[in-house]
Chains A and B, each alone.
Chain A
Amino acid sequence: MRYMLLTHYSESDGESQSEEATAAARVAFASYTATLEAAGVLIAAEVLRPSESTTTVSLVGGELRIQDGPFADTKEQLGGVFLIEVADLDAALDWARQAPPARWGAVEIRPVAAHTVTGAWTA
């Protein structure tokens, strides 16, 4: 099954974070991603810019609405995603547990319902 690991954490920590802590986090991310890759489960990984750089678009009554900032303004924000392919939820739980953001935030596990292969949707 495909699972998206969505990492959420408080962004204020990012600003006040020391250089050593940032470097340590970078190392943790690199090592985690290398482990996922070596295990052959990694499909994609993206780390997002802070939520202040978000632009949210919606159509309200057919009218385009563009908002400066994220859809939901909460303390913890979506920080990045890891897309993996593993056998079941237990395997996904095991990878989520090892994701560095689990230590300073939380990791949501969402099964993927459908994805595209060369532009065509497949279940």
Chain B
Amino acid sequence: MTPEPDPHQAASHAARASFGRLVALLASANRDIAEAEDAVASALEQALITWPGTGVPDNPEGWLLIVARNRQRDMWKSAARRTRADLDQSDPSPRTRLEEIDPDAIGDRRLELMFACAHPAIDPTIRTPLMLQTVLGFTSAQIAIAYGASPAAFTKRLVRAKRRIRDTGIPFTIPGRADMPARLNAVLEAVYGCYAIAWHDADGRSHHEPDSMGGEALHLAATLATLLDSESEAWSLAALIALSLSRARARTGEFVPLDEHDPATWDAELIAEGETYLRHAGQLGGPPGRFQLEAAMQAVHAARAYGRVVDWDALKNLATALVTIAPTAGARIALAAITGRTSGPEAGLALLDQLPPATDRLSAYHATRAELLTRVGHSAEASAAFRRAAALEPDSATAAYLRQRAEKSHVSGA
């Protein structure tokens, strides 16, 4: 017997699940995201008042859409009343009735909304927060906490970005073939950003819980991949996030390096999900992109879940390909670490020596160097490098682990 759905829970679940869909549908009419968000919020409030008495409707999303759309029309009317002296009292847009809404025909404009949020005319640093808010329904306060910023300043920036979409005429459209590669990349980067900041979310929830930012970032990436379908990098991003999230539990509490994780703590379902996405990306053909290579590297580590050993040569090939197409400091440091495994620590150290001086500010650079120095027996140098890595590391659990390693190297070197 299924229990009667609790109206409050149903409303809050519908809120999270439907927010982006409803905002995208309502805002696509006039590109006014702020107005659409207000209308959806007002519909959710109405649900909390009405549903406990009447029960949850069969089609909660359709119910919310009608109430929100009617609310939006009321806003238009009152705006028209403010600006028009010769007010025509008859309502030109009749209110929609619930029976007229076909849940399957509601449609989905979230993809268009994502492309609007990551439009080249929008400041790149606000694209991810904008998606977190408009597509996933996180509040300014929650987003500000995740970024370690002041909510007031963040709210202002988000309001400005939404106004900009409305006033500059940024379209709610899926770009054509010519613009697609550059535009898609911006959307993927922004979705990846939703996942990356999830590691710093301060709400204390585990990342595989449905409402956590990490879980929502996966949901967003999977939605993006499904809606675009033929873009292999979109599937690869979903794979990358699913595979990384599969180890979320192993990352709570004390920091443990990836190859010392107990695979039993990994989430087998998320690994399988990630592998499915990655296979799909591979089947689409074409040269593998950045996210496909990164996801494939995650999948090589995930093989330990099936009792297999890590294939370091495969990792080296993938990391080499990644450095070729995306020579970021992070990718080059990863290649040095992997080379240290396959060809000895000296080879790894030689690669680190070739990195530009700016890399000196990255914790991962010093941590990798320290690891390789330990293996060649330079304990004192290794200890100093671990200390430097700890000082640069923003994550407190990782920093604590690096300090421990510095201490251990120091003792063994003395």
Bound complex: CA of A92 vs CA of B169, how far in Å? Answer: 9
A111–B169 touching, CB < 8 Å = yes
In the assembled complex, which residues on chain B have CB atoms less than 8 Å from the CB atom of A63? Answer: none
Instruction: Give chain B nearest CB distance to A96 CB in angstroms.
Output: 11
The reply to whether the CB of B171 lies closer than 8 angstroms to some CB of chain A is yes
Q: Is the CB of B171 within 8 A of A90?
A: yes
B227 close to A (CB within 8 Å): no
| Closest Cβ neighbor of B175 among chain A residues | A90
Question: Which one, A90, A92, A93, A111, contacts B167 given CB within 8 A?
Answer: A111
Residue of A nearest to B119 (CB): A89
**Which label, helix, strand, loop or mixed, suits the secondary structure of the A interface?**
mixed
Q: How far is the CA of A115 from the CA of B168 in the complex (A)?
A: 16
Provide the residues of chain A in CB contact with B120, threshold 8 Å: 93
- The reply on B170 being an interface residue by CB < 8 A is yes
Give min CB distance, A5 to chain B, whole Å.
13
The A68-123 residues at the B interface (CB cut-off 8 A) are 87-90, 92-93, 109, 111
Residues from chain A with a CB closer than 8 A to the CB of B167 are 111
Interface 0/1 of B148-170, CB less than 8 Å to A: 00000000000000000001111
Most chain B CB inside 10 Å of its own CB: which residue of A87, A88, A111: A88
Question: Binary interface profile of A, 20-32, with partner B (CB < 8 Å = 1, else 0)?
Answer: 0000000000000
Contact A88 B171 (CB under 8 A): yes
Most buried by A among B120, B171, B175: B171
Q: Which of B169, B175, B179 contacts A89 (CB 8 A)?
A: B169
CB of B121 closer than 8 Å to a CB of A: yes
A47: interface (CB < 8 Å): no
Q: Which chain A residues numbered 1 to 21 have a C-beta less than 8 Å away from chain B?
A: 1, 3
A111 x B171 contact (CB < 8 A): no
- Check B412 for interface membership: any CB of A closer than 8 A: no
Report the separation of the CA atoms of residues A90 and B168 in the bound assembly, to the nearest whole angstrom.
Answer: 10
How far, in angstroms, from A89 to B121 measured CA to CA in the complex? 9
Asked if B317 lies at the interface with its beta carbon under 8 angstroms from chain A, I say: no
Write out the residue numbers on chain B whose beta carbons fall within 8 Å of the beta carbon of A3: 169
CA distance A93 to B178 in the complex (A): 14
In the complex, A3 Cα to B171 Cα: how many Å?
A: 14
Residue of B120, B168, B179 with highest tally of chain A CB at under 10 A: B168
Shortest Cβ distance from A90 into B: residue: B171
Quick one: closest B residue to A123, CB to CB?
A: B83
Complex interface: chain A residues within 8 A of B119 (CB): 89
Q: Are A88 and B169 in contact (CB under 8 A)?
A: yes
B169 touches A93 (CB 8 A): no
**What residues of A have a CB within 8 angstroms of the CB of B139 in the complex?**
none
A1 adjacent to B169 (CB under 8 Å) = yes
The answer to the question of B173 belonging to the interface, with a C-beta cut-off of 8 Å to chain A, is yes
Name the CB-closest residue of B to A1. Answer: B169
A93 to B176, CA, bound (A): 14
Which residue of chain B has its CB nearest to the CB of A3?
A: B169
Pick from A87, A89, A92 the residue with the most CB of B within 10 Å.
A89
Cα A1 to Cα B171 in complex, Å, equals: 11
Contact A87 B168 (CB under 8 A): no
What is the minimal beta-carbon distance from A102 to any residue of chain B, in angstroms? 15
Q: How far is the CA of A114 from the CA of B370 in the complex (A)?
A: 63
Contact B168 A111 (CB under 8 A): yes
B169-204 interface bits toward A, Cβ cutoff 8 Å, 1 = contact, 0 = none: 111010100010000000000000000000000000
Minimum distance in angstroms from B132 CB to a CB of chain A: 23
A90 to B170, CA, bound (A): 7
Q: A88-B169, A90-B173, A111-B169 are in contact. List 6 more A-B contacts (CB 8 A).
A: A87-B171, A89-B121, A89-B170, A89-B171, A93-B120, A109-B168
What are the 9 closest A-B residue pairs judged by CB atoms, nearest first?
Answer: A88-B171, A89-B169, A1-B169, A88-B169, A89-B170, A89-B168, A90-B171, A111-B168, A111-B169
The 25 sampled A-B contact pairs (Cβ below 8 Å) are A1-B169, A3-B169, A87-B169, A87-B171, A88-B169, A88-B170, A88-B171, A88-B173, A89-B119, A89-B121, A89-B168, A89-B169, A89-B170, A89-B171, A90-B170, A90-B171, A90-B173, A90-B175, A90-B179, A92-B169, A93-B120, A109-B168, A111-B167, A111-B168, A111-B169
